[in-house]
């Protein structure tokens, strides 16, 4: 029996090879529109063999402390946030890494965005009611001061009310981008968001850049303070990933990546399915301010 142990160890190493040194830097929790609590994310990260994760909830950092309390020494939990922003009239998302959680200007801006989310949430409930679709808002177990309300929370209410079978069904029937109940979110101007992340000691990265992004536009954002670009993300085609990597190298930008995991109902976004390696993380880390 002892003679089998080296072979067993080798098999485990092969099975875990794709995860060794892997870092998932785009993860959501119940602090925003994720289904996993911060401690559950940590547990899944350990099971996946990840060495680092970043909790990047929408417009809030409240889940980071809980994740850090749950994480053992071998799993780095990087402070992060996904900020709702706007550039050239379009909604874009900015990822901020290694930010100081006690930074007052950034905290105030995030609180402003969350208040906008609360107003949007109840306005969407009113629009649904006008169409004869009623939900009980009191069933939304949310602390609006710290948690970011979004369409997923409204989809959950629609399922509870029996107006949809699943979250996907709720989005398809009532909450898609062109539905009568859809309302835009409050957004920070991209240049303001970049300044806030940088001033909080963080590194700013362009989240899941759209396919119509050009090198010229990325260069403009880079000159304005965008230090990195997310090249590994759910839905990104291999050719586009290679293009983004080439542009990042040409402009001298770091790269980021992550699963954009929201929970078990999205199989394509399993924790650890996308990410960067340890060397790429160190390149990103060096851009953070002390």
Percent of the chain with pLDDT over 90: 84
The 3-state DSSP composition of the chain as helix, strand, coil percent (nearest 5) reads 45, 15, 40
> Which domains, and CATH codes, for the chain?
29-111+192-285 (3.20.20.140), 115-175 (no CATH)
Q: Is the pLDDT of residue 17 over 60?
A: no
Closest CA to 29 of 273, 190, 286, 263: 263
pLDDT tens-digit series, residues 137-161:
876 655 555 678 999 999 999 999 9
Percent of the chain with pLDDT over 70: 90
Whole-angstrom Cα distance, residue 186 to residue 189? 10
Count, residues in the chain: 290
pLDDT tens-digit series, residues 65-115:
999 999 999 999 999 999 999 999 999 999 999 999 999 999 999 999 999
Instruction: Give pLDDT, residue 192.
Output: 98
With tokens 């980021």, the residue in question is 256
Going along the chain, which residue ranges are E strands? 22-27, 52-55, 76-87, 90-97, 188-189, 203-206, 228-232, 254-257, 276-277
pLDDT interval class at 6 (50, 70, 90): very low
Q: Is the pLDDT of residue 4 over 60?
A: no
Verdict on whether the full-model pTM lies above 0.85: yes
């Amino acid at each position: 029996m002892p003679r089998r142990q080296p072979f067993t160890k080798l098999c485990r190493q092969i099975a875990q090879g794709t995860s060794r040194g892997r870092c998932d830097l785009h993860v959501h929790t119940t602090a925003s529109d994720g289904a996993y609590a911060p401690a559950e994310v940590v547990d899944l990260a350990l099971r996946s063999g990840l060495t680092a994760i970043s909790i990047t909830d929408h417009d809030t950092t409240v889940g980071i402390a809980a994740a850090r309390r749950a994480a053992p020494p071998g799993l780095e939990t990087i402070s992060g946030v996904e900020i709702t922003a706007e550039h050239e009239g379009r909604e874009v998302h900015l990822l901020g890494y290694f930010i100081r959680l006690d930074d007052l200007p950034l905290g105030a801006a995030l609180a402003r965005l969350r208040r906008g989310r609360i107003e949007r949430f109840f306005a969407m409930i009113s629009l649904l009611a006008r169409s004869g679709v009623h939900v009980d808002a009191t069933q939304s177990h949310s602390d609006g001061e710290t948690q970011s309300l979004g369409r997923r929370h409204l989809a959950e209410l629609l399922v509870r009310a029996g107006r949809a079978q699943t979250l996907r069904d709720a989005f398809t029937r009532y909450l898609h981008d062109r539905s009568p109940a859809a309302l835009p979110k409050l957004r920070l101007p991209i240049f303001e968001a970049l300044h806030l992340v940088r001033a909080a000691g963080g590194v700013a990265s362009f989240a899941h850049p759209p396919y119509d992004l050009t090198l010229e536009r990325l260069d403009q954002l880079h000159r304005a303070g965008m230090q990195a670009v997310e090249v590994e993300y759910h839905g990104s085609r291999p050719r586009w990933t290679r293009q983004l990597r080439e542009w990042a190298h040409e402009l001298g930008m770091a790269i980021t990546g992550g699963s954009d995991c929201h929970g078990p109902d999205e199989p394509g976004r399993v924790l650890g399915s996308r990410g960067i390696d340890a060397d790429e993380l160190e390149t990103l880390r060096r851009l953070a301010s002390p």
